């Protein structure tokens, strides 16, 4: 494994790990009030495209990092949508 690949995996690890605290906070506290659905939707789309790109150029760091980041983002989005749906039902809002 060359230096470029090692640097890629280190960078991928750091950027991917940056999403873990947000995911854990959302899952533990169940507080989604500060989460922007628009931001996470756009970011998830971008990460999905990076994943496709990584597959097309067969770059291990790009594939691994974006697959994990996409999973974390989608987990956060799913949790936000569920919580907000539950909250609107509690308030009696129609959806």
List the structure tokens of 4. Answer: 């470029």
pLDDT for res 69:
92
Domains, the chain, ranges and CATH? 3-86 (1.20.1280.290)
Q: What is the mean pLDDT of residues 64-93?
A: 88
Tell me: the pLDDT tens digits for 35-74? Answer: 889 999 999 999 999 999 999 999 988 999 999 999 989 9
The model's confidence at residue 30, banded by pLDDT at 50, 70 and 90, is confident
Give CA–CA dist 8/11, Å, rounded: 5
d(CA 41, CA 45): 6
Whether the pLDDT of residue 93 is over 90: the answer is no
Rounded Cα–Cα distance for residues 90 and 30 (Å): 15
């Amino acid at each position: 494994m060359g230096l470029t690949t090692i640097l890629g995996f280190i960078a991928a690890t750091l950027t991917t790990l940056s999403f873990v605290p947000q995911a854990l906070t959302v899952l533990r506290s169940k507080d989604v009030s500060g989460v922007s659905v628009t931001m996470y939707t756009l970011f998830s789309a971008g990460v999905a495209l990076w994943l496709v790109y990584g597959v097309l150029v067969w770059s291990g760091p790009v594939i691994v990092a974006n697959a994990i980041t996409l999973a974390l983002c989608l987990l956060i989005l799913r949790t936000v949508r569920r919580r907000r749906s539950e909250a609107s039902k509690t308030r009696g809002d129609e959806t």
